[in-house]
A and B are shown apart, each in its own frame.
Chain A
Amino acid sequence: MGTIDEMYLENLDEWVNDENQIVTFKKLSLALKVHVNKAKQMLYSFVQHQRNNKDNDHLFVTYFVAGLSHPVVGVKSLKCMVVPEENIEAFKSTLSVVTSSHIYSVGRSKVKDDNKLYLADYDSIHTDSTTNTDIFKFSSIKYPKAKLRSDAEVESQKRYRTEPTTSKQVNGTSKQNGENGHISQKPKQNGENSNVSQKPAEKPQKKGGIAGMFANQAKKTKSPEKDPKEVKEEHSKDSKMNTKESSNNKGGVMAFFSKQTAKANEKPSEPVKKDKLVKSEPEDKQETIKKEPSPAKRQVPDKGKGKRSKSGQDSDDDSQKKRRRIKAVLIDSSSEEEMDYESPIPSPVREQSPAPESPVPKELEKESPEKDSPEKTTSTNIGERKRKRRRKLVPKTFMDDEGYMVTEKVWESESTDASETEPPPPKKPQEKLTKQQSPQKKKASPKKKSPPSAGSRKQAALTNFFKKK
C-alpha cells in the first residue's frame, strides 16, 4: 500500500502540477485501474498532501454533492451538483439531506464551465474510436446481464456493414498490398493528396477501396501499439490536443476519414521522400533510370504473380477491376500531359517497370492468345501503352547521316514522344531514324524498338480486348 501511495501521489503531482491537467476521479480510476471510490479518496488525500505538506494553495477542487432539496410544492427532488470548493456549503444549505459529497476533480486552473470538466476525462473514457469498457470494471455497480457481445460477432457485424460497397475494390488493392507491402499504396495516396487534377476522376471510384485500405492499415498499426498503459499515458499527456480529434473517432464511416487524416499526418515523411526522388527525375535522368529498374523489377514479378493467381480464380471479378484500372489510367495519362512533371511520379514506378523486360511480354503475347488469359494480354498492352507515353530519358544509339554510330541521351525527344499531340521538332527525325535503323541494329536497339512497336500493338490489343468481352 505504501508504494501505491507514493505512486499515485507522484502521478497526480505530475499531472496536476506539471502538466496542468484537470484530473477527475474517473480519469484517475481508469489511469491507475482502481475503484472509482478509491480514486475519489486518492484525490482527497492528494489535496490534503499538497495543502499541508507542500503549501500548495493553488489547487482548484470541485466537489460532487447530492442531496434532497427542500420540498417544492410537496416534491423533493434529488439534486446532483458539481460545485467548486467554495460553494459547497452554500449549496449544502439548500438541501434538506445531503446524500453524497466527494471530490470530483482536481486541477490547477480554475474551471469556468462544465464543458472543461466534461472534456477532462473524455479521453480516458474514449479510447480510439470506442468507449473504454474499463469504466464498467471500476464502477461501484455491476450488472452481470450486460455482457458485451463477443468481438468476433461484432467484427462480423461491422464487416457486413462496411464491406458490401467496398469489398471488390478492396480486394484488388489489398491483395497488392499484401504482396508489395506498402509500395503500391503509398504512391497512390501520394497521387491523391498531391495531384489535384486526378482527384475528381479517381475519388468517386476508389473511395471505398481507399477507405478500406486505411481502415485496414489503421487496424494493423493501431492494434500492436495498444499497450494500455502507454495509451493511457499518451492520452493523459496530450489530452487537450486530442480531445477534439478523439471525439470524432467513434467508428462508422467517419472513423475511416478521421483515421485517414490522422494517418495522413503521420505518413508524409516517406511519401515526400519518394516525391522528391521522382521529381528530380527529369533533371538527372540517368541516375534515376539506373535506380528505377530495381524497385520496378521487384514489382513486376509480384504483379505477375498476383494476376496469374487471380485470373485463375475469378476472371470475372478480375476483369472488372481491370476495366476500372484502364479508366483510371486513361485519365491519368491525359492529366499527365498537362501536369507532366508532377503526376507521372506514382505511375512510372509501376508502369515503366515492364519496360526493361518488354521482350518477354511480347513473346508471351504472341504465343499465348489462343491459350487463355485475355486479361494478361490486355493488361500488358495497357502497360505498354502507358509505357510508350512515358518513355523518356533514354540514351539512344543511331546512325547519323554519314553512317556513323552515335550514342546520345535524347531525353527531350523521348518526353515529347510521350505526348504525341505536341511533338517538338527534334523528336521526329529521331523516331524515323530509329524505325528505319532498328531492324539492322544491335545491342541498344531493343529498347529503341519498344516504343513504336508498342504503339502499333496497342490498338490491336485494345480491339482484342473488346472482342474477348
Chain B
Amino acid sequence: MLFNPEKDTKNVGKLLTEPTESSDADYVRTDCKYEDLSERFRVKSKNFTRQYAHLYAERLWSMRDKVVDAAKTKPSILKELSEEHNLMPQPIKSKYTDGNDKLILEDELQRILLIGKLNIQTSVTGVIVALYGVEPDDNRGKFHVEDFCYQQLPEQIPRPMLEHDRFIALISGLEIGGKDEKSFPIQLMVDMVTGQVGDIDQQKSSSSIVRVIVAGNSLSEDTQDKESLQKAKYLTKKSEAASVEAVKTLDDVFFQLSGSVDVDVMAGEYDPTNFTIPQQPLHKCMFAQASRFPTFKTVTNPYDCHVEGVRVLGTSGQPVINIMRYSELEDPVDILDKCITWGHIAPTAPDSLGCYPFYKEDPFIITKCPHIFFCGNQSSFGSKIHKGPNGQEILLVSVPKFCQTATCVLVNLKTLDCHPMEFNSQFSQPMETESPEVDK
C-alpha cells in the first residue's frame, strides 16, 4: 500500500496551522535504474509491400518449439498424437457474437475445422496452439479436440528485493482536446505526483513515484480532424488543426510532470503517429517545453522496459480492445491473462488489428517474461496476479481512461501491489460521488 496508515497520518492537518518553517518539506525523488527494452518495437525499414502471411509463418515457426516443449509436459498421448498426425501448432479463427462461429486450425499447408473442447468464444485468430484429438472416420474434415496447450511461459528473472517502496504511475487516455477532457483532475494528478498538493507525508509518499508511464491516447480522438482531409487545401490553409491547442496543453502537462519525475509517453490509438502497431514514439518536436527535460521520453507502443530491475511490458490498449471485440472475453484483465497464456501480446494482429508487415520476426511474441503487464485505455481499473507454471508472477493491470474515470494506477515495484488513485472535485453535485462509496 502506498500509505502506512499509522505512520502517515499523524501529520495530517499540520498544514492547517500558522505558517512554520518546519512545514517546508523537501524530498528528493530518487533516480531509478531504467532500461528501455523496446528496441524490437522500432520499425527500422518501412516496407509495406509484403503480405502478412510471413508474420503468421514466423509466429508459427518461432513458437512451435515452445509449444512442443509445453506439449511434452502434457500426458504422453499428446506427444504421440502430435507425432502420429504430424500436427503442427496452428492459428485458430473465431468470429465474434455468433454461436455458429467455427474454429479452424491452419498450418502452412492445410486447414481443418475444430470441434470439441476448445472454447470458441475465448479463442481468437492468430493464437498458436497445440491440439490433441482425433479426426473420426465417420466425420471427416472435422477435428475433435480433446486437449490443447499453448506456449510455455518463458522463465522469469526474479524481481530484485527492493529496500524501499518504489512506485510507477500508469496513466492513460488523458484525451486532451476532447469533450471529456478533465483539465482540473489532470492538474490535480500532476500536482499530486509532483508534490504540490497533499500533506507532508503524502508528499513523501509521492516522492517515491519513480516513473510515470502515459499509456497512450493523450490526445482525444476529436483532435483528429478528418474533415480537413476532404476539403480543398486552399480552404483549410489558414485554419488550424484542432490538435495544435491540445498538444500545447499536453506539452504543458508533461512539462510539469517531467520537471519532477521521469515520464515515458507511449503512443496510442488517437495519438499523432502511425496507426499500426507497433506504434512509433511521438515526435519530440510536438513537446517543445517538455522535451527540454532529459526526464521526458516518448516511447513505442507496445512498450517494454526495466524499472529498478522490474520488467514492465504494456500496450496502449488496442490489442486488448480488439480481442474484446472478437471474442466473448469482456474483462481486460482476463484478456491480459489470456495473452500471457497465449504467449503473445497482440494475437489478432494482423487479422483484425493493424500491424506492420514484419518479415522474419514477430516482436509481439512474449519471449521474456515481464513482471508487470498492463494495457491502457480501458473502461475500468482492474488488476490480478497471473501465476505461471514455474512460479512466474505477473501483475496484470488494466489502466482506465483518465478522461472517464479521472483515475491513474500506482504500482509498487517492491511488492507488486497496485491500486488506483482518483482525482476529482466536488462542486456541482456534492453528494453524487459519495453515495455509492458509503454503501460499500
A and B contact pairs by CB, cutoff 8 A, 16 listed: A37-B24, A37-B25, A76-B1, A77-B420, A77-B421, A78-B410, A80-B197, A82-B426, A84-B426, A97-B9, A103-B15, A131-B252, A131-B256, A141-B203, A148-B292, A250-B252
Question: Do A90 and B434 touch across chains, with their CB atoms under 8 A apart?
Answer: yes
A44 close to B (CB within 8 Å): yes
* B42 beta carbon closer than 8 Å to chain A: no
Q: Does A404 contact B (CB under 8 A)?
A: no
Among B10-32, those with CB < 8 Å from A are 12-13, 15-20, 23-29, 31
Q: Tell me whether A80 and B294 are in contact (CB under 8 A).
A: no
Do B183 and A143 touch across chains, with their CB atoms under 8 A apart?
no
- Interface flag for B244 (CB, 8 Å): yes
CB of A99 within 8 A of CB of B201, answer yes
Q: Given A84, A140, A145, A147, which contacts B196 in the complex, CB threshold below 8 Å?
A: A140
A77 and B420 CA atoms in complex are apart in Å by 5
| A101-B13, A139-B194, A250-B248 known; A146 vs B294 contact (CB < 8 Å) | yes
Contact A87 B200 (CB under 8 A): no
The residue in chain B whose Cβ has the minimal distance to the Cβ of A248 is B245
- Is B301 in the interface zone, CB < 8 Å from A? no
Asked whether, in the complex, the Cβ of A76 is within 8 Å of the Cβ of B419, the reply is yes
B198 contacts the other chain (CB 8 A): yes
A243 to chain B, nearest CB (A): 12
Contact A254 B262 (CB under 8 A): no
Query: CB-CB < 8 A to B201: which residues of A?
Result: 99
Roughly how many angstroms separate A78 CA and B12 CA in the complex, as a whole number?
Answer: 15
Size band of the B side of the interface? 35 or more
Q: How far is the CB of B195 from chain A (nearest CB, A)?
A: 3
Q: Is B425 in contact with chain A by the CB < 8 A criterion?
A: yes
Q: Which of B19, B25, B197 contacts A100 (CB 8 A)?
A: B197
Q: Mark A280-316, 1 if CB is under 8 A from B, else 0.
A: 0000000000000000000000000000000000000
Whether a CB of chain B sits under 8 angstroms from the CB of A126 is yes
B3 touches A143 (CB 8 A): no
Contact partners of B226 in chain A: CB under 8 A: none
Q: Check A112–B248 contact: CB distance below 8 A.
A: no
Q: Which of A66-74, A370-378, A438-446 is near enough to bind chain B? A: A66-74
Interface assignment of B430: CB less than 8 Å from any CB of chain A = yes
Which of A5, A41, A91, A133 sits near B434, CB closer than 8 Å? A91
Contact of A141 among B1, B28, B188, B255 (CB under 8 A): B28
Within the complex, what minimum Cβ distance (angstroms) separates B200 from chain A?
A: 7
Q: How far is the CB of B204 from chain A (nearest CB, A)?
A: 8
B292 in contact with A26 (CB, 8 Å): no
Q: With A84-B427, A143-B261, A250-B248 as given contacts, are A26 and B191 in contact (CB-CB < 8 Å)? A: yes
Which residues of A are interface residues toward B (Cβ below 8 A)? 5, 26, 35-38, 40-42, 44-45, 62, 64, 66, 68-72, 75-84, 87, 90-91, 93-94, 97-104, 111-115, 117-118, 125-126, 130-131, 133, 135-136, 139-149, 154, 158, 161, 248, 250-252, 254
User: Which residues from B are CB-within-8-Å of A250?
Assistant: 248, 251-252, 289
- Tell me if B288 and A251 are in contact (CB < 8 A): yes
> In the complex, what distance in Å separates the CA atom of A250 from the CA atom of B427?
29
- A residues within 8 A CB of B198? 64, 66, 80, 99-100, 102
Which residues does chain B contribute within 8 Å of A66, judged by CB atoms? 192, 197-198, 202
Central interface residue in B200, B245, B256, by most chain A CB within 10 Å: B256
Docked complex Cα distance between A351 and B31 (Å): 64
Contact of A102 among B25, B199, B425 (CB under 8 A): B199
Please tell me if the beta carbons of A139 and B423 are within 8 angstroms of each other in the complex.
no
- Does B318 interact with chain A (Cβ within 8 Å)? no
A266 and B258 alpha carbons, distance in the complex (Å): 36
Q: Is the CB of A35 within 8 A of B260?
A: no
Considering only CB atoms, which chain B residue lies closest to A39 in the complex? B19
B359 interface hit (Cβ, 8 Å): no
Set of chain A residues within 8 Å of B136, measured between Cβ atoms: none
- Is there an interface contact between B292 and A149, defined as CB atoms closer than 8 Å? yes
| Cβ-defined partner of B23 (8 Å) among A38, A76, A93, A114 | A38
Query: Across the two chains, which residue of chain B brings its CB closest to A86?
Result: B430
Contact A143/B426 with A64-B198, A135-B256 known, Cβ cut-off 8 Å: no
Residues of A within 8 A of B200 (CB): 37, 140
- Whether the Cβ atoms of B196 and A70 lie closer than 8 Å is no
Interface residue B230 (Cβ < 8 Å from any Cβ of A): no
**B248:A133 contact, CB within 8 angstroms:** no
Question: In the complex the two chains form, is A44's CB within 8 Å of B426's CB?
Answer: no
Judging by beta carbons under 8 Å apart, are A251 and B244 in contact? Answer: no
Whole-angstrom distance between the alpha carbons of A72 and B29 in the complex?
31
Q: Does B351 contact A (CB under 8 A)?
A: no
CB-CB under 8 A for A145 and B9, given A35-B23, A66-B202: no
Asked whether, in the complex, the Cβ of A149 is within 8 Å of the Cβ of B294, the reply is yes
Chain A positions within 8 Å of B430 at CB level: 83-84, 87, 90
* Contacting pair A44 B18 (CB below 8 A): yes
- Name the distance in Å between A402's Cβ and chain B's nearest Cβ: 63
Give the chain B neighbours of A149 by CB distance below 8 A: 292-294
CB neighbours (8 Å) of A93 from chain B are: 438
Q: Which B residue sits closest to A257, measured CB to CB?
A: B240
Q: How many Å lie between the Cα of A115 and that of B427 in the bound state?
A: 10
Partner of B15, one of A44, A81, A94, A252: A44
Contacts of A126 in B (CB 8 A): 252
A101 touches B195 (CB 8 A): no
Chain B residues near A140: list those with CB within 8 A. Answer: 24-27, 195-196, 200, 203, 207
